Structure 1
Amino acid sequence: MPIEENFEFDADHYRQEVKGFSVARLQQQEIAMARKYLSSGFATGLGLGSALFTGGLSLLLAGYKSRSTYVANKKREIIQAELRRRNIKTRHISAKDAAISWSIGAIAALVGVEIGDLTEGITNINQMGAGLPPGANESTGLTTDPGKVAEGMVGQVEQLAAHVKGESAAGVAAQVAATDTIAYHAGMVQAKIIEEHLANEATEATLVALTNPPEEPKPGCSRSKVQRLSCDRCGEKIDVGYCYWRKFSQ
Structure 2
Amino acid sequence: MKNSIVFIILILSCFFQLDCTAQKQKKSRFKALVLYENGGHHLPFTKAAKPWLNKLTIDSSFTIDYIESTKTINETLLKQYQVFIQLDYPPYTWSEESMQAFQKYMNSGKGGWVGLHHATLLGEFDEYPMWKWFSDFMGGIRFVNYIPDFASGKVNIEDKSHPVTKGIPSDFIIQKEEWYTYDKSPRPNVHVLASVDESTYEPDSKIKMGDHPVVWTNDHFASRNVYIFMGHAPELFENEAYTTLLRNSIFWAVKRN
Normalising by structure 1, what TM-score? Answer: 0.30
Give 1 or 2: higher strand fraction: 2
Structure whose residues are more often helix by fraction: 1
TM-score of the two chains, using structure 2 as the length reference: 0.29
Q: Rg bigger for which structure?
A: 1
